[in-house]
Amino acid sequence: MSVKLTFYGAVREIGGGKTVLRYDGTTILMDFGMDFLAGSDHFNERLKPAPYLEVRDYLHLGTLPPLAGLYPVAQRRFLEQEFDTALEPADVSGILLSHGHIDHVGFLPLVDISVPLYCSAQTLEVLRYFDEIGQFDLRMDQRPVTVLEPGRSVQIGKCEVVPVLTDHDVLGAMGFIVRCGDRSVVYTGDYRLHGRHSERVCAFFDLVRQEKQHATTILLTEGTRLGSGTLDQLSESQVQDGVMRAVAAAPGLVLTDYYVLDTERLKVLLRVAEKTGRTMVLQPQHMLIARRFARFDAELERLLSNVQVYLARRGSGRYLAPDYRLFEQEYLVTALRAADIAEDPARYMLQLDFVDLSELIEINAAPHTAFIHSGGEPRGPNDPNYVVLMRWVRDFGMDFYHIATPGHANELDIREMIQRADPDVLVPMHTRAPEALDGFVPNTVSLRKGVTYEL
Ligand SMILES: [Zn+2]
Ligand SMILES: [Zn+2]
């Protein structure tokens, strides 16, 4: 029996994947992501859908799947009565989540809380974290979640799902082999070969090859870096060498900017802090997820003992409890403040988020303060906030270093992995340049959004 796949996102774009798999009466979704820049091509920071029209608008634009079982009953009724919107009556047996990045989970708040979720223990921590810092209203305490153990398969309706650990710039990233009778649909999620665990990725693609012994294999691979023409990338230890040199050369304060979920990068910064005798200072939300992830990572646990927390001024500007969220309030007494950093800047490496750059005024950052941009926001020169960051760098006379490495495999690594798996059908997704793999295996699908492929 064939399997049907429909893609609502990650088609000629990076992220935003929401892939519907239908087999023998079972409907499974793979990821439920939001496009990186607030919503999708159609919305941004300024132009947002009204909350009560969000599902309607995204359905209309073809960004959300028209499956009744996904959305809360009240929302369904509203759509039917007000807009005559016909939704397919299908129940959804579950949503598989490959990892906790927003472009893979960011639309989950729109999903009815009764829909079962499947993810790694680390991804579950990320989802809870989003709730706690108020980034999303996921209500994770009310949702049914099955925590997936790597290699241990689970039955979802008529499908058997094998979760496999991969390597990406967040802990707990997984790919999935979804066995549907004599078809095996393989979804890689995001992966890279230059991280600390390339062996996991190789083992995953070897597994896919073995799958061919009993099934037709359909490989859905990410291709973020396809067509970019660059192989530029550092290993995490080369990143560490670079950070080490930058910190050793810094006469005063060192500022860092890494992405809050990338605890592998945090470990790099913490190792450098340890070696150079500095104290790493994190903002409360960084500390929150680091402490959660520390239970999966003994080295992180140890390194966190050399960390202090920083509180930026908010609200009243007087460090009062109501100015802060609950998870921040526990640091009201113990946290370092701008004045503490200003007193002895050369003692610290301080993580400073983009939104808190104005703290530099109070810290009285001296010329040649080092700013190590290492994967945090703004994410690159294409982000409008990058110009703003550069203005602060210039006006404070800071020494700016970009020392980072991509979370995604380069084109040659992707090709090598595809050859390793030798799939019967190849589906490049999560890329702006899928044509880079046109005809790479005889049966390569060129995706279109919202079209159902029967394979
Ligand atoms: Zn992604
Ligand atoms: Zn990702």
35-67 pLDDT tens trace: 765 445 688 778 888 877 889 888 988 899 999
What is the percent of the chain where pLDDT is above 90? 86
Q: Listing from the earlier edge strand, what are the strands of the sheet with 216-222? A: 154-156, 159-165, 174-180, 183-187, 216-222, 425-429
Locate the DSSP E strands across 31-76: none
Could you tell me whether strands 307-309 and 279-282 are parallel, antiparallel, or unpaired per DSSP bridges?
A: parallel
Q: In angstroms, what is the span from residue 4 Cα to ligand 2's centroid?
A: 25
Residue 38 has what pLDDT?
A: 45
- CA 418 → CA 209, 302, 332, 358, distances in Å? 10, 38, 51, 47
| ∠ CA 212-218-224, rounded to 5° | 125
Q: Which class does domain 4-228+408-454 fall in? A: alpha beta
Q: In angstroms, what is the span from residue 253 Cα to ligand 1's centroid?
A: 33
Residue 40 has what pLDDT?
A: 54
Q: In angstroms, what is the span from residue 224 Cα to ligand 2's centroid?
A: 10
Q: In angstroms, what is the span from residue 199 Cα to ligand 1's centroid?
A: 20
Ligand in closest contact with the CA of 14: 1
| Per-domain residue ranges of the chain | 4-228+408-454, 236-402
Q: In angstroms, what is the span from residue 168 Cα to ligand 2's centroid?
A: 7
Q: In angstroms, what is the span from residue 386 Cα to ligand 2's centroid?
A: 21
Q: In angstroms, what is the span from residue 101 Cα to ligand 1's centroid?
A: 7
**One-letter identity of residue 66:** P
Q: In angstroms, what is the span from residue 310 Cα to ligand 2's centroid?
A: 27
Q: In angstroms, what is the span from residue 408 Cα to ligand 2's centroid?
A: 8
Q: What is the mean pLDDT of the chain?
A: 95
Name residues with Cβ closer than 5 Å to ligand 2, which is an ion.
Answer: 101, 190
Gyration radius of the chain's alpha carbons: 23
Domain 236-402 grouped into CATH 3.40.50.10710 = yes
d(CA 242, CA 105): 32
Q: What is the mean pLDDT of residues 140-163?
A: 98
Q: In angstroms, what is the span from residue 408 Cα to ligand 1's centroid?
A: 9
The whole-model pTM stands at: 0.96
What is the percent of the chain where pLDDT is above 70? 99
Q: In angstroms, what is the span from residue 190 Cα to ligand 2's centroid?
A: 5
- Conformational region of residue 84, where left means phi above 0, alpha means psi within -120 to 50, and beta covers everything else: left
pLDDT per position as a tens digit, 433-443:
999 999 999 99
Could you tell me whether strands 174-180 and 183-187 are parallel, antiparallel, or unpaired per DSSP bridges?
A: antiparallel
d(CA 17, CA 185): 15
d(CA 443, CA 150): 29
Q: In angstroms, what is the span from residue 314 Cα to ligand 1's centroid?
A: 32
Q: In angstroms, what is the span from residue 40 Cα to ligand 1's centroid?
A: 14
Residue 151 has what pLDDT?
A: 96
Ligand in closest contact with the CA of 16: 1
Q: In angstroms, what is the span from residue 381 Cα to ligand 2's centroid?
A: 19
Ligand in closest contact with the CA of 171: 2
Residue 379 has what pLDDT?
A: 83
Strand partners, 162: 177
Q: Who has greater pLDDT, 46 or 132?
A: 132
Q: In angstroms, what is the span from residue 425 Cα to ligand 1's centroid?
A: 21
DSSP structure string for 91-123: ---EEE---S-HHHHTTGGGS-TTS-EEE-HHH
DSSP structure string for 32-57: ---BTTTB-TT--SSS---GGGHHHH
d(CA 235, CA 208): 26
Q: What is the mean pLDDT of residues 150-172?
A: 98
pLDDT per position as a tens digit, 201-224:
999 999 999 999 999 999 999 999
Query: Closest Cα to residue 25, out of 69, 87, 91?
Result: 91
Name residues with Cβ closer than 5 Å to ligand 1, which is an ion.
Answer: 15, 103, 190
Residue 36 has what pLDDT?
A: 62
Structure tokens at 374: 């290492």
pLDDT reading at 23 higher than 70: yes
Ligand in closest contact with the CA of 192: 2
Q: In angstroms, what is the span from residue 187 Cα to ligand 1's centroid?
A: 12
Ligand in closest contact with the CA of 172: 2
Q: In angstroms, what is the span from residue 238 Cα to ligand 2's centroid?
A: 21
Ligand in closest contact with the CA of 33: 1
Contacts 24+ apart (CB under 8 A), 276-279: 276/244, 276/247, 276/248, 278/247, 278/254, 278/346, 278/347, 278/348, 278/349, 279/306, 279/307, 279/308, 279/347, 279/348, 279/349
Q: In angstroms, what is the span from residue 162 Cα to ligand 2's centroid?
A: 20
Ligand in closest contact with the CA of 34: 1
pLDDT level of residue 383 (50, 70, 90 thresholds) = confident
CB 147 within 8 A of CB 120: yes
Ligand in closest contact with the CA of 167: 2
